Amino acid sequence: MVHPLKNGSKLPLFHYPLLEQTGIVRHCFTTRCGGVSEGMFSTLNLSFSRGDVKEDVEENYRRIAEAMGTDCEHLVCSDQTHTTNIRVVTESDAGKGIIRPRDYTDVDGLITNVPGLTLVTFYADCVPLYFVDPVHHAIGLSHSGWRGTVARMGKCTLEAMYREYGTEASDVYCAVGPSICQDCYEVSEDVAVQFEDAFSGRVSEMLINKGNGKYQLDLWKANEIVLLEAGVKPEHLAVTDVCTCCNPELLFSHRASHGKRGNLGAFLSLTVQKKSNR
């Protein structure tokens, strides 16, 4: 979907119809197109820490916020270090990571039940996971690389939503977002062994042994298994077929660029306040 902006430019963003049909969220996954950054960051880079011009990154965020129907004061960013740590986001977090410094570290997942706050996580091959609970009006957004996936980040996020909001996994609509595909994702034997231990009996669904200690890993399938085993209904789950590494002109990929790249972003906000039972 392409969003026209007030400055006349156009911002192409990915959306999931499955999430939109809940009627309670706005969401997107960005491309590398439609921003103002230059060089290896061209053009919609969302990282302040990889050497891009700060003002350009700020303008990129402003454009996405506009497309999302909000502003940068209502964005809340993760601080990703490949953990399974989940932060409960409240009104006091508004703007953190964009216009205000974060007062937290090592946070790869965000959850909230506050309408109007937009959760933001970052990618350049790893897997974005979206969670929408239309019953309790709560949302989650998590970053799941291979470390997060083997530690079942999807399950951890659902458990955090259950603790905070009473969310039942069977009610949740989930999406596995654009990330690196199995054909592009070669891993070493030490990584493969961790998946063999964590996914006993199902590892053949996600790993191909190429010989010489090299394996091809399917993070999409692994995260699908995590979410379904955690209780998400198959009809409530959308899994991407868009590879970041296969599409270097459209998406930032760490592997395709050998680390010379910007960041993509996943954005998710709750738009509807839950009605009172009184």
Homologous superfamily of domain range 2-179+236-270: CNF1/YfiH-like putative cysteine hydrolases (3.60.140.10)
Q: What is the pLDDT of residue 7?
A: 63
Beta carbons within 8 Å of 61's beta carbon, 6+ residues apart: 46, 72, 75, 98
pLDDT tens-digit series, residues 1-16 = 666 566 656 799 999 9
Confidence class for position 277, pLDDT limits 50, 70, 90: very low
Q: Each residue of 165-176: b (16+ CB within 10 Å) or e?
A: bebebebbbbbb
Instruction: Report the share of the chain in percent with pLDDT over 90.
Output: 94
For the ranges 5-14, 80-89, 200-209, 213-222, which has the lowest average pLDDT? Answer: 5-14
pLDDT one-digit tens code per residue, 157-202: 999 999 999 999 999 999 999 999 999 999 999 999 999 999 999 9
Average pLDDT over residues 75-81: 98
- pLDDT at position 10 is 76
% of residues, the chain, pLDDT over 70: 94
How far apart CA 187 and CA 149 sit, in angstroms, is 14
Mean pLDDT calculated for residue range 79-96: 98
Report, as an integer, the average pLDDT of 229-244: 98
Side by side, the strands of the sheet bearing 237-239 are 86-88, 109-112, 138-144, 127-133, 173-176, 237-239
Whether 129 has a pLDDT exceeding 90, the answer reads yes
The reported pTM is 0.96
Rounded Cα distance between 169 and 45, Å, is 33
Specify the pLDDT at position 4: 59
